[in-house]
Chains A and B, each alone.
Chain A
Amino acid sequence: DIQMTQSPSSLSASVGDRVTITCRASQTISSYLNWYQQKPGKAPNLLIYAASSLQSGVPSRFSGSGSGTDFTLTISSLQPEDFATYYCQQSYITPHSFGQGTKLEIK
């Protein structure tokens, strides 16, 4: 099975900051990498699919990059509503494993 490792596990930042979260796959997954945002008590929400494609309705301050084994999610200018937990997920081969999550907190 493919293991997905996110870093950092938690992050403190301020409104307006530029933030980057990293996701690494244990083997190549081409560009089959998705990013989700989850707020407390809510279902996850798809942000980025196929490593760099922005899901409809998601603000353009979110962007994704990478291929192969190394991927990043960038938030260009943090907004108050962006404080949440972020997960990467590979969809290259089943089981479609998730990273352990990155909790983004207000500094």
Chain B
Amino acid sequence: GQQLNQSPQSMFIQEGEDVSMNCTSSSIFNTWLWYKQDPGEGPVLLIALYKAGELTSNGRLTAQFGITRKDSFLNISASIPSDVGIYFCAGQLIYGGSQGNLIFGKGTKLSVKP
């Protein structure tokens, strides 16, 4: 089945630093999504990407849908303590039917030192 390789697994950075994480896949996806999950909570959508090559920003977050449709990255600029959490990438094939579900990466745990 499809798998997503997300890296790095964890990051421990200083407040104010920029962060970059990425996901790669052996399969083509139609949609790439980036989520943040706080402990004991469900994932919250940060950015959704729908077209190959698309570059989208949401505040200090920027994500891109790779041209090959097999990869995506998420950048966080000028990190702050509240950025702490686990970030998941997710790929979606075709919505509807048995292929409508998301395939998640294993997550990147971000720790920010004040």
A in complex with B: no
